[in-house]
DNA sequence: CGACGCGCGACTT
DNA sequence: TCGCGCGTCG
């Protein structure tokens, strides 16, 4: 997930640690719907009439999207040991187990006397059904994981008074499929290791036995951990469906992204649907998300950050604070630069060239983007720098450029590289109104079409920069080419159903699940009547300092006007509406300009959506 | 020699 | 996931 060592280099200096989400519980002051004017105008002192015309504002809950998949893997990881018999953890239990093992082996049992791999027997090895005992174990495991998740979610909704939107991963995008199959092989190896390491152990001294068994147990635990991130597909789908039904019964809105959750989360955030994102994934950084909360609850014992006895603390990372990172200098880095850096340094979609890490990638990107001489497209220059800077071994396969025979190798890397960039820049996401769409669609088929989401000027500017390189340009201008990478949109009604989890994605959506239609699903939540609270007396501190109000300022007791951080905040109080005017990723330097941008005004912005907006 | 990248082994809940 | 030691490169 994401780039390897980037969070440790950024969070300590640029992030705000120990961020207590309970400080968000007072919610947010927003200008009410009819006051839908650009934030700049609000700075003009109000006349008495205008001031008395009330209420100009309303209070609403803070909306947060949660990358649930991160939590799920954490939960699986943390409780992974429970998939194994807990008796492994005590001396006594181990003694009993080893005895059982011997017996089982003597009787030539197919099960290798290993009850640990309960789940894996289902499909991995013999295809047999798990025993009742094993099923019992799986059920406990799943309920432990789900309880863990629900506990956290409930904390956020009740203690922090947040309006949460859970986002889940969908299918694997085409570009990632190769990498995934690689990973599957590794996982399989780990699983086998875990299963096979239980070799028949002849009688030995008690002491030896104890030591040996302990070692074995430890190594198996670690093998199990390695295998743990990719638990049995069967178990996973069980967990998945149970989770969904739990979410439904708790009336928690959720959304299943068409493909990866990252892009979906970024889309939600950049369109102003949510105010912040809770995740563990570093990819969100380069997707232009304004506020990300990492390490909620502090996960590792070694790292005490965000750990507290009561409540959950997190590390808040604001986009504009990125430049202040001390571990790595990202001063004045735009979103494109971050994307290119991530891809260069090796991400989920594209392995880095040997010898290129985060530091080298940063240096190259800074050098190329900040230098003025630009007869050569930036992407081309970055690629050439990468060829130059990587380890000798790799370099000799790529350079010199004059060597035509090495063109093939360069093309191979370039393909992956550009695909990864495209994946970050134009993920396929689900929009409740438009269905599956390509975020920041700049393709020829799209431009000028009214049903598409407009793309901000800053995004265009950055994208133009990338498109100077012909191969990339061809990639993003043609939807078909893009579909080959980011995936294909589904038919609108199917997209709806899948986003709501009404259709089993594993079966390519052919078989619908039986779901009580009365259950609230994603965008049915119209619960909060925020305007009703407007009559309360609330201290309002007008935003005097700029267009964007700091998240933490908003909530440290006093409440400020939300100036919708450069776009139009959806004035409606429901998740069911996505602010159409809001734009995608902007570099930290440009503020409200994009909401006034010509292309926005020119584009026949879908008024039909605005209707629902108010 | 220093910096960077990478792999291994600690341990978590 | 984090920290540490080693290899490689400049």
Distance A213 CA to B5 C1' (A): 36
pLDDT of residue A217: 52
C-alpha distance from residue A582 to each of A162, A570, A573, A605 (Å): 22, 8, 16, 11
Torsion of CA A413, A418, A419, A422, to 10 degrees: 160
Residues (533-552, chain A) with CB within 7 Å of strand C atoms: none
The answer to whether the C-beta of A215 is closer than 7 A to strand B is: no
pLDDT of residue A191: 54
The answer to whether the C-beta of A302 is closer than 7 A to strand C is: yes
Dihedral sign for Cα atoms in the order A121, A127, A131, A135: positive
* Cα–Cα distance, A252 to A216 (Å, whole number): 42
The answer to whether the C-beta of A1 is closer than 7 A to strand C is: yes
Confidence check: pLDDT of A509 > 60: no
pLDDT of residue A307: 60
Confidence check: pLDDT of A391 > 50: yes
Q: Which two tokens stand for residue A67?
A: 């990358």
Q: What is the mean pLDDT of residues A536-543?
A: 28
Rg, C-alpha atoms of chain A: 26
Q: Closest nucleotide to A280's CA, by C1' atom?
A: C1
Residues (364-403, chain A) with CB within 7 Å of strand C atoms: 391-393
The answer to whether the C-beta of A77 is closer than 7 A to strand B is: yes
Q: Which two tokens stand for residue A479?
A: 């939807």
Q: Closest nucleotide to A295's CA, by C1' atom?
A: C1
pLDDT of residue A192: 55
Q: Which nucleotides of C are covered by protein (CB under 7 A)?
A: 1-3, 8-10
The answer to whether the C-beta of A221 is closer than 7 A to strand B is: yes
Distance A71 CA to B7 C1' (A): 27
Q: Find tokens 């290129």 and name the residue.
A: A356
Distance A359 CA to C6 C1' (A): 19
Distance A30 CA to B6 C1' (A): 49
* Confidence grade of residue A300 (pLDDT, cut at 50, 70, 90): low
- Which comes out higher in pLDDT, residue A18 or A32? A18
- Helix residue ranges per DSSP H, A332-441: 335-345, 358-370, 378-389, 392-398, 407-425
The per-residue DSSP string of A279-343 comes to -S-THHHHTT-SEEEESTT---SS--TT--SSS-EEEEEEGGGGGG-SSS--TT--HHHHHHHHH
The answer to whether the C-beta of A592 is closer than 7 A to strand B is: no
pLDDT of residue A297: 80
Q: Which residues of A225-249 are buried (b: 16+ CB within 10 A; e: fewer)?
A: ebbbebbbeebbebbbeebbbbbbe
pLDDT of residue A558: 25
Residues A375-386 have pLDDT tens digits of 899 999 999 999
pLDDT of residue A107: 39
Give the lowest-confidence range in A18-32, A41-55, A70-84, A546-560: A546-560
The answer to whether the CB of A203 falls within 8 A of the CB of A102 is yes
Residues A469-483 have pLDDT tens digits of 999 999 999 999 999
Residues A239-258 have pLDDT tens digits of 899 999 999 999 999 999 99
| Average pLDDT value over all residues in chain A | 70
Q: Which residues of A407-424 are buried (b: 16+ CB within 10 A; e: fewer)?
A: eeebeebbebbbbbbbbb
Task: State yes or no: cis peptide before A121, omega within 30 of 0.
Answer: no
C-alpha distance from residue A211 to each of A101, A104, A196, A250, A450 (Å): 16, 21, 19, 47, 70
C-alpha distance from residue A522 to each of A413, A509, A526, A560 (Å): 40, 18, 10, 29
The answer to whether the C-beta of A305 is closer than 7 A to strand B is: no
Residues A575-613 have pLDDT tens digits of 433 333 333 333 333 332 222 222 222 223 333 333 333
Q: What is the pTM of this model?
A: 0.73
Q: What is the mean pLDDT of residues A151-172?
A: 93
Give the lowest-confidence range in A5-14, A68-77, A499-508: A499-508
Q: What is the mean pLDDT of residues A516-532?
A: 36
The per-residue DSSP string of A427-455 comes to -EEEETTTEEEETT---TTTTT-TTSPP-
Confidence check: pLDDT of A308 > 90: no
Distance A336 CA to C9 C1' (A): 29
pLDDT of residue A366: 93
The answer to whether the C-beta of A299 is closer than 7 A to strand C is: yes
């Amino acid at each position: 997930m994401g780039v390897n060592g980037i969070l440790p280099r950024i969070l300590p200096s640029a992030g705000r640690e120990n961020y207590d989400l309970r400080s968000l519980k007072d919610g947010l002051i927003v200008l009410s719907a009819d006051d839908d004017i650009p934030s700049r105008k609000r700075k003009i002192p109000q006349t008495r009439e205008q001031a008395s015309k009330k209420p100009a504002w309303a209070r609403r809950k803070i909306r947060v999207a949660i990358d649930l998949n991160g939590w799920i893997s954490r939960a699986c990881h943390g409780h992974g040991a429970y998939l194994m018999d807990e008796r492994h953890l005590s001396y006594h239990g181990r003694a009993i187990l080893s005895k059982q093992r011997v017996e089982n082996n003597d009787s030539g049992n197919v099960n290798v006397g290993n009850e640990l791999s309960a789940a894996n027997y289902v499909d991995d090895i013999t295809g047999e059904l798990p025993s009742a005992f094993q099923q019992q174990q799986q059920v406990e495991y799943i309920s432990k994981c789900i309880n863990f998740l629900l506990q956290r979610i409930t904390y956020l909704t009740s203690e922090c008074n947040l309006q949460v939107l859970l986002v889940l991963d969908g299918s694997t995008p085409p570009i990632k499929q190769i990498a995934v199959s690689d990973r599957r092989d590794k996982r399989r190896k780990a699983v086998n290791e875990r299963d096979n390491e239980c070799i028949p152990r002849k009688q030995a001294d008690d002491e030896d036995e104890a030591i040996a068994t302990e070692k074995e147990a430890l190594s198996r635990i670690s093998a199990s951990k390695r295998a743990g991130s990719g638990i049995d597909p069967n178990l996973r789908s069980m967990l998945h469906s149970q989770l969904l039904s739990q979410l439904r019964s708790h009336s928690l809105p959720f959304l299943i992204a068409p493909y990866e959750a990252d892009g979906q989360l970024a889309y939600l955030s950049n369109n102003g649907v949510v105010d912040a994102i809770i995740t563990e994934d570093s990819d969100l950084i380069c997707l232009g998300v304004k506020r990300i909360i990492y390490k909620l609850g502090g996960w590792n014992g070694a790292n005490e950050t965000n750990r507290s006895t009561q409540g959950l603390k997190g590390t808040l990372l604001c986009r504009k604070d990125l430049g202040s990172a001390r571990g790595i200098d990202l001063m004045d880095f735009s979103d494109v630069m971050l994307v290119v850096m991530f891809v260069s340094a090796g991400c989920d979609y594209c392995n880095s060239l040997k010898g290129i890490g985060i530091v080298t990638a940063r240096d190259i990107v800074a050098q190329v983007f900040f230098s003025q001489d630009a007869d050569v497209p930036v992407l081309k220059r970055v690629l050439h720098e990468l060829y130059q800077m990587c380890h000798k071994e790799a370099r000799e396969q790529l350079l010199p450029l004059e060597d035509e025979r090495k063109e093939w190798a360069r093309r191979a890397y370039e393909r992956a590289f550009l695909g990864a960039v495209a994946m970050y820049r134009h993920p396929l996401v689900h929009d409740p109104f438009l269905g599956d769409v390509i975020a920041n669609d700049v393709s020829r088929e799209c431009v000028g079409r009214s049903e598409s989401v407009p793309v901000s000027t800053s995004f265009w500017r950055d994208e133009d920069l990338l498109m100077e390189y012909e191969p990339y340009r061809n990639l993003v201008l043609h939807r078909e080419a893009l579909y080959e990478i980011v995936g294909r949109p589904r038919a609108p009604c199917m997209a709806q159903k899948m986003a709501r989890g009404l259709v089993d994605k594993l079966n390519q959506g052919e078989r619908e699940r039986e779901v009580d239609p009365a259950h609230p699903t994603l965008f049915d939540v119209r619960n909060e009547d925020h305007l009703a609270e407007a009559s309360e007396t609330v201290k309002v501190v007008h935003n005097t300092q700029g267009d964007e109000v700091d998240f933490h300022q908003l909530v440290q007791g006093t409440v400020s006007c939300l100036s919708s951080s450069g776009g139009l905040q959806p004035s409606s109080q429901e998740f069911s509406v996505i602010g159409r005017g809001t734009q995608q990723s902007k570099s930290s330097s440009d503020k409200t300009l994009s909401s006034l941008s010509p292309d926005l005004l020119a584009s026949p912005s879908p008024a039909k959506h605005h209707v629902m907006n108010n």
